[in-house]
Amino acid sequence: MSKSLAPTINYTLIQGSYWGCYCAIVTFSSVYLLAQGFTNAQIGTVIALSSVLSAVLQPVFSGLADRLKKLSLRQFAALLVLVQLAAGALLLVVPGMVPQALLYGTLTVMIQVVLPLCSALGMACINSGNPMNFGVARGAGSISYGVFSSLVGQLVLWFGEVSIPVALTLLNLVLMVAILAFKFKGMEDGPREEVVQEKKAKGGKPFPLKYHGVIPLVLGVVLLLVSHNVLNTFAFQIVTPLGGDSAAMGNMLLVQSLVELPVMFLFSWMITKAGSRFWLCVSGVGFFLHALGAFLAPNMFWMTVIQVFEMPGYAVFALASIYFVNEMVEERERVQGQAWITMAMTLGNVLASFVGGLLLDYTSVFVLLTFASLAGAGGMLLFFLLLRKGSRTLTPVE
C-alpha cells in the first residue's frame, strides 16, 4: 500500500511546494516590492516584462529539456529550481532597486518556466505505469496556494516583508528536494539512446510545424484565459458596483477556490468516463458561462453563486489540457507540448491585465465584462472547432 501511495504523496509534495512558491512570488509581489521602494508603475513593469519573457522562454527551456542527453527531466527541473532558490536567497543580501528588480524578475520568470516541467514529470510517472493520482496532487496544490496566502500574509504582519524571501527560499528548497526524490519504477534517469537517435533523425523543425493546429489551439487557450483572468485580476473593481467590498471579494474568491477541489480530486476517475478532448470542450463552456454570469449578475449574491462555473471551467481545463498534450504529443516532445499550453496561459494573463486595465481606465466595468464574455465565447467556439471528433489538432504532421 505504501509503495502504491508513494508516487501520489511525492507528487503532492511537488505540487504543494510549487504553488506555495508561486503564491509567495506572484501574490505577494506588490507587498514585497513596495517595501523596497518601488512604485506601482515600476512593479507593473517588472511583472509584465517578466511574464512576457517567461512566455517566450517556456517553449525554449522545455524544448531543451526534451533534447537533453546528459540530464534527465527530473534533474533539469531541479536545476531550474536551484536558480529560483539562489535568486530568492540573494533578495535577502543584495540591496538596491536594480538588483532587486532583476532578482525578482528572475523569480517571476523561473516559477512559470518550471510549471510545464512539473506537469511533464507527473505525466511521465503515470506513463511508466505507476499508480499516481494526478488530480489529487493538483488539488493539494490549490489548497497549498490558499494556505500559504494566509500564512505568508500573517508572517508579513508579524515579521515584516523580509519573511517573503525567507518563506520563498524554504519552499524552493522543499520543491527541489521533492523533484530530486521523484524517481519511480520505469521512469528514465536520462534520455534513452533510441530516443536521442530518433531526435537526430527527425531534424529541428519548430514544434508548431510538427503538429496540426498548434497556433489555433494556443489562440483558443489565450482567449479563455483572458476571460478567466479579467474576472480575477479586476475582481475588486467588478464587485464594487454590485455593493461588494474587499471582504465580499475575499469570500467570493474563497468559494471559487473551494469549488475547484471536487474536480481536482475526481479527475482521474472523470478521464476514464470521457476523453480529454471532451473535457476541454466542457472547460470552454465553463469559462464562457463564468464570464457571462459575471456580466449578468445583478448583485453580490449572484456574483458569488456563478463562481460554481469555475468547476467546469478552469478546474477542468487545468487538468484536461495536461492529459490532452500527454495523449497526443509524441514522447520525445511532451515537455514542449506542455510548455506551449503554459505559454498560452501566461499570455492570457498578460493580455487580461493590459487590455483590462485600459478598458477600466477609459470605459467602464460593463465594457470590461463584455470583453471577458466575448473572449470566453471566442475561446469556447475555437475549442469546439479544434477538438471535435475526428479533428487533427495536435496530431503529428506527416
Q: State the greatest distance between any 2 C-alpha atoms of the chain, in Å, as a whole number.
A: 63
172: helix, strand or coil = helix
346: pLDDT confidence band, cut at 50, 70 and 90? confident
pLDDT at residue 199 greater than cutoff 80: no
> At 2, is the pLDDT very low, low, confident or very high (cuts 50, 70, 90)?
low
Mean pLDDT over each residue of the chain, to the nearest integer: 85
For residues 396 and 289, give the distance between their C-alpha atoms in angstroms, rounded to a whole number.
32
pLDDT in tens, 276-334: 999 999 999 999 999 999 999 999 999 999 999 999 999 999 999 989 998 888 878 88
Residue 380: its pLDDT value, please?
A: 97
d(CA 239, CA 288): 19
Structural domains in the chain, CATH included, are 2-202 (1.20.1250.20), 207-386 (1.20.1250.20)
Question: Using one digit for the tens of pLDDT, what is the confidence trace for 255-267?
Answer: 888 888 899 889 9
- The alpha carbon of 249 is separated from its chain's Cα centroid by a whole number of angstroms, namely 22
Higher-pLDDT residue of 130 and 392 is 392
pLDDT of residue 188: 63
- pLDDT tens-digit profile of 84-113? 999 999 999 888 888 999 999 999 899 988
Mean pLDDT calculated for residue range 363-384? 94
How many residues can be counted in the chain?
398
Arithmetic mean of pLDDT, 201-215: 78
Instruction: Give the best-scoring range by mean pLDDT among 180-194, 290-304, 355-369.
Output: 290-304
Q: Average pLDDT of 354-381? A: 91
Sign of CA dihedral 345, 38, 174, 186: positive
